[in-house]
Amino acid sequence: MNAASDPLLRMTGINKAFNGVPALREAGLEVRPAEVHALIGQNGAGKSTLIKVLTGYYRRDQGQVTFNGQSFEAASPQAAQNAGISTIYQEINLVSYRSVTENICLGRERRRMGLLDWKAMHQEAERVLAAFKVKVDVRQPLSNYSTALQQMVAIARAVGFQSKLVIMDEPTSSLDDHEVAILFDVIRHLKASGVSVIFVSHKLDELYAVCDRVTVMRDGRTVLSDELARVSKLDLVTTMIGRKLESAGAEQTAFRRRAHHEASSREAPLLAVRELAVGRRVAQASVEVRSGEVVGVAGLLGAGRSEVARAIFGADLLDKGEMTFKGQPYAPMTPGDAIASGIGFCSEDRKIDGIVPDMSVRENLTLALLPHLTRAGVIDVARQQEVVKNFVERLGVKCAHLDQPIRELSGGNQQKVLLARWLCLNPQLLILDEPTRGIDVGAKAEIQALVGALAADGLGVLMISSEIEEVIEGSDRVYVMREGRTVASLHRREITEDAIMNAMADGSAALHPVGGTSAPVPAEASSRRPATGAAQQAEGKVNGAAVHRDVKEVSTARPAILEGQPPPATLTRRSRAPRDLQTALRRYGTLTALFLLLAFNFAFTPHFANWQTLNVNLTQVCNIVIVGVGMTLVIATGGIDLSVGSLMAIAGALAPLLFLNRLFTVPLPVGLALAFIVPVAMTSLLGYFNGWLITRFRIQPIVGTLILFIAGRGLAQVLTNGNLQVFSMPGFQFIGLARPLGIPFQAILMVLLVVAGHFLLQRSIFGRQILAVGGNDEAARLAGIPVMRVKRLVYLLSGFGAGIAGLIVISINSSSDANLVGLGMELDAIAAVAVGGTLLTGGSATVLGTLLGALIIQLVRYTLLANGVPDSAALVVKGAMIVGAVFLQQKGRAR
């Protein structure tokens, strides 16, 4: 071995496990000086873990790394950078609003006399870029330039740090051909100047264009490392995703080869997609699915598979192409349309757009079914319970109880709940995007068996999978996608590993030109091979009763699977006891605090226990709570409403104008009626306007409602010309002054609104939708929830509450002052919501909590006052309470 071929980087025997699950097992990587080294592997093969170990993101458990001839251990990404290893991440980690110069020079600015020397920095940026033959105006914001140029800037930044090794994680995923060519020039240039490059990509052609050597990873191991010229594309694909060597020849999935599905070309397809084009990722895709058929979609990452699925489901709009469903033209505008047509969709990443993490198993399961579970908007809990129980049983979902938050479940159980979300709708077509990714072996077998059984029952299934075994054994037909095109359509016996691999590698193995249909190969019971592995045990059980094709059958297979595999739920259950205490504390903390305060006051504060004191306290809290109910709903969707105080002023200004006949003359009873109706209608409308502004233009809620915060009070002042309107109108003022049975009228109103709000949030379909939107906006959209409408309506309700509160305030005062009504109310209401335990980030809310929060704030204030502490000091305490409440909330969740 001569000095020239001494590797720049050598990683050997790297082990790394997360929570006991190994991600890297004896992995290794060797990069020579001035070499472009391809690092490839499927999702989860361990590439990124290996890179992160190298760059100091993770610490390795075991193994040696030498870099530049020395033992190497980076403490942080910065340390790695200083040592000469730069990483360019897939999502370009630059700041797009800042100039090119800043993105290159930040962190090592040029200074002159303590101030930034822009001229020198611009020159440096130009100089670095010129090395790549890039000439741009470096003063412009980065966002003005194409993605390719941004990549170039990222690389320039990396090289500017005197790197010896540059790691590029899928740099070409968002580039077009021309831009890729430029990038390759840059890489060659780097190589020529002695820098080594690790190039991660899924596009095989690119590897051959630019890389010298290749390392293939699989299941955390390095399985191949060689000169690229000596490895064919097919070899690459096979090593990457081919059947596992040790179990070759055995069936590895629990998919039953359903004896046959007589998919004749005469049978009209359930779904037909022709010449689909979506954005950058899908150029030309054609797919057909028939009832009772499992159609697999194979392809490397980034081939456009998920994008096709999303377009069929109406989640993304298509640029080109035609679809028919059940023989009818089909053009969904929203997921809701697709669901109504009878399509379900389990998305690729459960966490990002599948589950609503804080909602219970029950709520997650019935999220899409809700419209069918309601009578007049109210959830039929009994029927919901029945459906949920039924499906949890049939699919064998392991959970402590149905109200357990879904985030506490294992991946496999989450996936079953998501499957059930669609199955309970009784769909005709189910689209599954990586249905078994990240799921333990047992659950995987169950889900595969379930999919088989469902198809046998007549469901059409479109299944995207990166697991070749799953596609081969599970599908009646297979489409192979490559770089945005369906390049092959394989039937029955043609579905072989070789055929799929070839199509993935070159797109050359198209046995059937896509679009045309050839006569199906007569289905014949494929020779069954001896079953092995835990999954196969399940398979055996299911096969034993193969005649009955019922979903229920899956559950009979369940015990067998679970015997070998400890169910994940038991793990959760073990740690439940202390958690229950925490949950209880969090849930009942506010209530406890309230009782303590009350007890303290009853015991020590003179005159507290008299009717009048209680009424005074109650009256003061009423408005905050009435506004707080709407605010809770708004915050539950992840928004905020700053305009409530101004809306109160508008309502307060309008009402006297109406009953005092200042605007037009009507008989008093009419005027009084209008004085209640018009102001509240007005503020509701303005609330809706807030929601429209926020959803239509995607403005942050703070800014969106700030507009009415400012303009609203102005409107109120304009209406009254800023004058104090004094009145005495018992027919109107009962809303603030009446005391039926000695109880303030507005307290009754408050209780009614709280009960209504609580009921709405807990029991109505709308409430579930609010929480789903706040908990996971995208998952809610994919479950067919009209996200925009939900958001607009909560702002309307917030405006409604503000209107009523405004009327109460002026009734109590017997006057309306547009300058003062509702001043500061937005912050009081937000404080009550926060102290009450509603998450300010949305997704979890309690109207009763807001009531308690407002009562606590008021009682603390009263307690302090009654004990001689000035009101001003109470404000300080209130501030501390808000911070304390939010801090505890965050700590509770950070667990």
Q: How would you label 685-702 residue by residue, b for 16+ Cβ within 10 Å and e otherwise? A: ebbbbbbbbbbeeeeebe
684 CB contacts (<8 Å, ≥6 apart)?
A: 796, 797, 799, 800, 803
Residues 104-133 that bind another protein (CB under 8 A): 106-107, 109, 111, 114-116, 118, 133
Which listed range, 283-291, 476-484, 602-610, 818-826, lies at the site for another protein (CB under 8 A)? Answer: 818-826
Please report how close the Cβ of residue 160 comes to another protein at its closest, in angstroms: 12
Please report how close the Cβ of residue 94 comes to another protein at its closest, in angstroms: 6
Which listed range, 14-22, 447-455, 540-548, 704-712, lies at the site for another protein (CB under 8 A)? Answer: 704-712
- Site membership for another protein, residue 715 (CB under 8 A): yes
Please report how close the Cβ of residue 186 comes to another protein at its closest, in angstroms: 10
Which residue in the block uniquely carries the two structure tokens 């592997």?
A: 41
- Site membership for another protein, residue 697 (CB under 8 A): yes
Which listed range, 440-448, 566-574, 591-599, 883-891, lies at the site for another protein (CB under 8 A)? Answer: 883-891
Nearer to another protein (CB atom), residue 485 or residue 878: 878
> DSSP class of residue 481?
E
Q: Of 278, 346, 281, nearest to 782 (Cα)?
A: 346
Nearer to another protein (CB atom), residue 106 or residue 743: 106
The alpha helices in 697-846, defined as continuous H runs, are 701-720, 730-737, 745-763, 765-775, 777-782, 787-813, 825-835
d(CA 155, CA 160): 8
- Site membership for another protein, residue 876 (CB under 8 A): yes
- Site membership for another protein, residue 143 (CB under 8 A): yes
Q: Of 734, 715, 731, 708, nearest to 654 (Cα)?
A: 715
The alpha helices in 565-667, defined as continuous H runs, are 568-574, 576-604, 611-636, 644-659
d(CA 539, CA 252): 10
Q: Of 20, 777, 715, nearest to 356 (Cα)?
A: 777
Considering only 12, 66, 144, 232, the residue that binds another protein (CB under 8 A) is 144
- Site membership for another protein, residue 892 (CB under 8 A): no
Considering only 259, 331, 685, 827, the residue that binds another protein (CB under 8 A) is 827
- Site membership for another protein, residue 709 (CB under 8 A): yes
Residues 77-96 that bind another protein (CB under 8 A): 77-78, 81, 93-96
Q: Is the CA virtual torsion 356, 360, 361, 365 positive or negative?
A: negative
Which listed range, 63-71, 98-106, 491-499, 794-802, lies at the site for another protein (CB under 8 A)? Answer: 98-106
d(CA 637, CA 653): 30
Q: Of 223, 227, 228, nearest to 209 (Cα)?
A: 228
Please report how close the Cβ of residue 620 comes to another protein at its closest, in angstroms: 16
332 exposure class (CB count in 10 Å sphere: 0-12, 13-18, 19+)? buried
Contact track, another protein, 21-60, x by CB under 8 A: ----------------------------------------
Please report how close the Cβ of residue 228 comes to another protein at its closest, in angstroms: 27
Q: Yes or no: say if 633 and 753 are a contact pair by the CB < 8 Å rule.
A: no
Which listed range, 267-275, 510-518, 809-817, 869-877, lies at the site for another protein (CB under 8 A)? Answer: 869-877
Q: Of 197, 202, 223, nearest to 212 (Cα)?
A: 197
Please report how close the Cβ of residue 695 comes to another protein at its closest, in angstroms: 11
* DSSP symbols for 187-227: HHHHHHTT-EEEEE-S-HHHHHHH-SEEEEEETTEEEEEEE
Residues 165-194 that bind another protein (CB under 8 A): 182
End-to-end CA distance of the chain, in Å? 52
Considering only 102, 124, 440, 817, the residue that binds another protein (CB under 8 A) is 102
d(CA 297, CA 62): 38
Nearer to another protein (CB atom), residue 149 or residue 633: 149
Distances (CA, A) of 869 to 599, 670, 875: 19, 48, 11
Which listed range, 317-325, 442-450, 501-509, 874-882, lies at the site for another protein (CB under 8 A)? Answer: 874-882
Contact track, another protein, 767-796, x by CB under 8 A: ------------------------------
Please report how close the Cβ of residue 114 comes to another protein at its closest, in angstroms: 8
Q: Yes or no: say if 174 and 129 are a contact pair by the CB < 8 Å rule.
A: no
Which listed range, 101-109, 355-363, 384-392, 520-528, lies at the site for another protein (CB under 8 A)? Answer: 101-109
Which residue in the block uniquely carries the two structure tokens 């969740």?
A: 893
- Site membership for another protein, residue 823 (CB under 8 A): yes
d(CA 622, CA 753): 10
Please report how close the Cβ of residue 865 comes to another protein at its closest, in angstroms: 13
d(CA 354, CA 396): 19
Please report how close the Cβ of residue 153 comes to another protein at its closest, in angstroms: 11
- Site membership for another protein, residue 75 (CB under 8 A): no
Nearer to another protein (CB atom), residue 63 or residue 77: 77
Nearer to another protein (CB atom), residue 78 or residue 508: 78
Please report how close the Cβ of residue 352 comes to another protein at its closest, in angstroms: 17
- Radius of gyration over every alpha carbon of the chain, rounded to an integer in angstroms: 32
Considering only 18, 97, 595, 604, the residue that binds another protein (CB under 8 A) is 97
Nearer to another protein (CB atom), residue 71 or residue 872: 872
- Compute, in degrees rounded to 10, the torsion defined by CA atoms 260, 266, 268, 274: 100
Nearer to another protein (CB atom), residue 256 or residue 713: 713
Nearer to another protein (CB atom), residue 138 or residue 462: 138
Considering only 717, 813, 814, 815, the residue that binds another protein (CB under 8 A) is 717
What kind and span of H or E run contains 387? helix 381-395
Distances (CA, A) of 777 to 314, 351, 570, 704, 843: 16, 12, 31, 19, 9
Please report how close the Cβ of residue 818 comes to another protein at its closest, in angstroms: 8
- Site membership for another protein, residue 708 (CB under 8 A): yes
Which listed range, 7-15, 102-110, 406-414, 656-664, lies at the site for another protein (CB under 8 A)? Answer: 102-110
- Site membership for another protein, residue 663 (CB under 8 A): no
Please report how close the Cβ of residue 722 comes to another protein at its closest, in angstroms: 5
Residues 626-655 that bind another protein (CB under 8 A): 640, 642
Distances (CA, A) of 547 to 448, 449, 526, 556, 712: 17, 14, 17, 14, 69
Please report how close the Cβ of residue 31 comes to another protein at its closest, in angstroms: 22
- Site membership for another protein, residue 329 (CB under 8 A): no
- Site membership for another protein, residue 882 (CB under 8 A): yes
